[in-house]
Chain A
Amino acid sequence: MTISNIILILLIVGVAALIIYFHIKSKKDAEIVTNIDVDDQTYTLQQMIEFIKRRLDEITKINLYDIGLSEEELVRRKSKKYELKKALKGCTYGDVNDKKYVKELIYDLLAKEYGVNEMNISKAIPFDIPSLLTAQDKFDILIYIYKKEFGYEALSEMIRKYQLDEFKYIQGETKPCYVITEDEINEIYEKENIELLFTDKLNIVVQRIYQQYKGYSSIDEIRDMNIDGVSGRCIWIT
């Protein structure tokens, strides 16, 4: 065996090793989110939404043929993947059960994969400092608590209890109208004196993420209530 033969063999072996290395590395990198880098922004709503989007995308787009499953396992995994895809599609049309399923999945993803806990959940919504809560935060908390007790009658119950369906004058308007103002929400929130458990807080965050990602934004929860309907209009400002 000449020197050139040995060099050639080493070269071929080296190239083969490199190809295998990069092949395995690319597969590893492609598979699921690796470590989550924790910084100040990690547990903000925006970052959480990004994470959920990415993870749900990965779960629904994973190539099952690559995992090397048995025939029966493959059929079952396909069925579960199809189930999730169906739920993700169905929830955009307002299906309550699909919405519930997607929300449960988001809940588990945040609690078990993203590491949301009692300490960091307030970075998404400042539950511990009421003065920092926006009117929407407060309304989300209130509707969650009422929904726990009254189910789909939550909104009606809240309106009835605080007589929010009265004709009233608001600043800058000449005619009275039916309206629920920010001040009223703040007042109700103060009166209710709500104490939340971690699971409640996470459920509220999950709802917020869901309504921004898949749901109907701020009217998402209201839409599900036992009400005649929701109507909206666009005001074009030129």
Chain B
Amino acid sequence: MSIITFWNGTDDEVGTTTSSVAFATQMAIEHNIKVLLLSTSLNDSSIKDSFWPENKKKSFGFFADTRNKMIENNGLEGLERVIRSNRITPETIKDYTKIVLKNRLEILLGIDGEGETLQKQYMLIQETYPEIIELADRYYDMVIVDLDNKIKTSTRLEILQKSHIIVAMTSQRLKSIQKIDNLIKQNNILNEENTIITIGKYMDDTRYNAKNITRNLLKKRDIINTIPYNNLLFEATQEGKIIDLYFNFIRLREKDENYYFVKEIKRLYANIKGKIELLQMQRKI
């Protein structure tokens, strides 16, 4: 019943997709809720690669795959056909998702392929994202959107406006954080009520750590959220083993060096939950 959008508000590489994947997985495993992770990308297999190892196609001999390119019936490509024909309902969306954890975590993949036609199709599909997100919100407990910066500004703004919570990802660079903070202060697209600044690929062992940034730059009391860089997470996203990784993370003790990563995502969820509750009290959602 909540739409959480992970958006990279800067020009830096901050691991927005990986952060959304990690957050969605942790939510699905730790809480008994139905989560949908929605990718808005074109030709970006990061989400797919995080959950499923790449299938090596047999290219020779008797077992070779001789089939032509088939039309895609899953993901946004399949769903878009349903939308174009005005047949979409909240329940329809689930038929086009890929299941990661039954009744817990599902993924609506973006578009893959090549050619000019695909580019055009992507431009058309973009228009349907806000509608899909809104409908998915009626079926899933939590819709997590990995917002790609390649989609056109008007659609991006519409998605941000529809989001209950915006996780504005930034790098650890002071200027980037300042930029996001200024955007919030302008109260135009982002505002204090629904935006959470989060530092992606965060490193703690520097003078510019979360504590100092919050104290000296943002001049706030609550420490800025972070998603620390984690080697195991990086490896798991390459090998399609993120679920295995998270099942190992459940057993982590405080002394473990990876515990900090899990703790930070928990803190992010706590903040999101707090903001959602506040918005619900104000009857804004």
Contact = CB atoms under 8 A, between A and B. Distances in A.
Interface string B196-222: 000000000000000000000000000
Contact of B66 (A34, A70, A73): A34
Nearest to B84: A104
A46 interface: no
B85 A101 contact: yes
Contacts of A31: 67
B87 A109 contact: no
Contacts of A36: 68
B22 to A, nearest CB: 24
26 contacts: A21-B62, A24-B62, A24-B63, A32-B67, A34-B67, A34-B68, A35-B66, A35-B68, A36-B68, A73-B99, A76-B95, A79-B95, A80-B95, A83-B82, A83-B87, A83-B95, A87-B87, A98-B85, A101-B85, A104-B81, A104-B84, A105-B81, A108-B71, A112-B70, A113-B70, A113-B71
What 4 pairs between A and B have smallest CB-CB spacing?
Answer: A101-B85, A100-B85, A104-B81, A108-B71
B85 A72 contact: no
Contacts of B94: 76
A103 B63 CA distance: 34
A143 B92 CA distance: 32
Nearest to A80: B95
B69 A101 contact: no
B153 interface: no
A103 B96 CA distance: 19
B55 to A, nearest CB: 14
A24 B96 CA distance: 29
Interface residues of B, number: 24
A72 B68 contact: no
Nearest to A108: B71
Nearest to A114: B68
A113 B72 CA distance: 10
A109 B115 CA distance: 16
Contacts of B85: 87, 97-98, 100-101, 103-104
Give the secondary structure class of A's interface.
Answer: helix
A226 interface: no
Interface in A111-154: 111-113
Interface string B79-107: 00110111100001011100100100000
B283 interface: no
A226 B96 CA distance: 34
Interface of A: 21, 24, 28, 31-36, 70, 72-73, 76, 79-80, 83, 87, 97-98, 100-101, 103-105, 108-109, 111-113, 199
A189 B78 CA distance: 36
A111 B120 CA distance: 13
Nearest to A100: B85
A32 B84 contact: no
Contacts of A97: 85-87
Contacts of B68: 32-36, 113
Nearest to B94: A76
Given A32-B67, A72-B102, A83-B82, 19 more contacts: A21-B62, A24-B63, A34-B68, A35-B68, A70-B99, A72-B99, A73-B99, A76-B94, A83-B92, A87-B85, A98-B85, A101-B82, A101-B84, A101-B85, A103-B85, A104-B85, A108-B81, A113-B71, A199-B120
Contact of A112 (B67, B71, B86): B71
